[in-house]
Every structure is written in structure tokens, then in C-alpha cells.
């Protein structure tokens, strides 16, 4: 990673963690501010920032990116090596929380857009004990053609997927296809949509995120 994750620390005894990855061209700062406004005192929120790299979708322009994006079509060529490397970053962040005494069943991973794609892929393809929850906002499943054959974990982990019906970048139909795919191997995946939401977040969505986090990471 290009920088240390932006962290919103627990203000009471730390008993749970949320790891959330930003979208293309962003940093961890924006999402850390969003979580700081809805934080629970026992939860630590970790918002890493991706390395700066050239992105094919944007004519090779360098920006924070978890992997190279070659196109927004579901059948576009995909950066398998980069996706796997980004997945390893997520797992290293989880391992760091485990080393501090937070078990995987008290950790939620998620992300927005490209960050959500990494979170989804990492959650389902790494053979580890289940997490507390998974979140994907305005996102898609990378290397979807390999699923469900590559699924190795979290088949019964609660998952929240949210998508705006007016999204001009990650088409809502792509979100629907992703939801259908995930529901074929995960029995606890929910898909929520927002009529006027584009490729961003909104108060209604963040309220749903809070409800989800309260459910899967209750105080102990």
C-alpha cells in the first residue's frame, strides 16, 4: 500500500473491526470520515489507500487503484494478478487485526466500487474461517466466470450489497448479475437498490450499512 491505512480507532474496549476499501482514484480518507460519523465505540474502522498505478480504463493515467481496470463491460479482460495481489492486502489487514486479539468472526470487510470488488473476491476465495460480514457498495464480482468453482469460504456469512439504479459507471444490471451469482453460493446475501442513486453513496444507503453493521457486530 502507498500509505498507512486511515484508522478510526475504537473509543472503548476494541472488540470488532471493519476494513473498508475505497473506489478507483480515491483514498481512505473519505470513507474514514463517513464511518467516523456513524461509529460505535467498540469498533475500529480501517480504511486503506491503494497504491498509485497507471489505469488502462483512464488511458494509463496514474491514480490510486487496487488493480488495473481494462474496461467496464462484464466480459472485458481482467487484471487477475492485480486482483489477487489486492486480495492479499485485505487478508494481511485481517491478519493484523487477529494479531491484536480480534477474531475473524468479529471482522467485517467491504468496499465501494473497485474496493468492493476486491473485498468480495477476497472474502470468497481464501480458505479461512468465516468473517462476521461482507459489504459491497456499487460494485461487481471480479473474475466472475470462475465462480462458484473458486469459492472456498464465507458461504453462510451475512452480506450486504447495495447499488444505485442510476449508476452510470458500474451499471445497475451488473450489480444485479453479481447479486444473482453470489446468492447461488451464499445463503445470507442481501441486495438493496436505490432509485435515484448514481455511482456514489447516499444517507439512506449509509443508514442501511449501519443497520447491517449493528446486526453482525453487536456489542459484547
pTM: 0.96
List the domains of the chain with CATH numbers: 3-216 (3.40.50.1820)
Confidence of residue 131 (pLDDT cuts 50, 70, 90): very high
**pLDDT above 90 coverage of the chain, percent:** 94
Neighbours of 214 (CB within 10 A): 13
Q: What DSSP designation does 103 have?
A: -
**Residue 220 burial by Cβ neighbours in a 10 Å radius (0-12, 13-18, 19+):** exposed
Q: Which residues pair with 61 in a beta bridge?
A: 55
Q: Which residues are catalytic?
A: 113, 167, 199
| Surface-to-core class of residue 145, CB atoms within 10 Å of its CB (0-12 exposed, 13-18 middle, 19+ buried) | exposed
Span 17-32, mean pLDDT?
96
Question: How confident is the model over 54-72, as pLDDT tens digits?
Answer: 999 999 999 999 999 998 8
Which helix H or strand E contains 73, and what residues bound it?
none
The stretch 112-128 carries a mean pLDDT of 97
Amino acid at each position: 500500500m502507498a500509505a498507512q491505512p486511515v484508522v478510526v480507532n475504537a473509543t472503548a474496549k476494541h472488540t470488532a473491526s471493519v476494513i473498508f476499501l475505497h473506489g478507483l482514484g480515491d483514498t481512505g480518507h473519505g470513507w474514514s470520515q463517513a464511518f467516523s460519523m456513524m461509529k460505535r465505540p467498540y469498533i475500529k474502522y480501517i480504511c486503506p489507500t491503494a497504491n498509485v498505478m497507471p489505469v488502462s480504463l483512464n488511458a494509463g493515467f496514474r491514480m490510486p487503484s487496487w488493480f488495473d481496470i481494462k474496461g467496464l463491460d462484464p466480459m472485458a479482460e481482467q487484471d487477475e494478478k492485480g486482483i489477487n495481489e489486492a486480495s492479499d492486502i485485505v487478508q494481511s489487514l485481517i491478519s493484523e487485526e487477529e494479531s491484536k486479539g480480534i477474531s475473524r468472526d468479529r471482522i467485517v470487510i467491504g468496499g465501494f466500487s473497485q474496493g468492493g470488488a476486491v473485498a468480495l473476491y477476497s472474502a470468497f476465495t481464501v480458505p479461512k474461517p468465516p468473517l462476521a460480514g461482507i459489504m459491497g457498495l456499487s460494485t461487481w464480482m471480479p473474475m466472475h466466470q470462475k465462480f462458484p468453482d473458486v469459492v472456498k469460504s464465507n458461504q453462510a456469512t451475512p452480506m450486504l450489497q447495495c447499488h444505485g439504479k442510476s449508476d452510470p459507471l458500474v451499471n445497475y444490471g451488473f450489480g444485479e448479475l453479481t447479486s444473482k451469482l453470489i446468492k447461488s453460493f451464499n445463503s445470507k446475501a442481501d441486495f438493496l437498490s436505490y432509485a435515484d442513486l448514481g455511482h456514489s453513496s447516499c444517507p439512506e444507503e449509509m443508514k442501511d450499512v449501519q443497520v447491517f453493521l449493528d446486526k453482525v457486530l453487536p456489542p459484547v
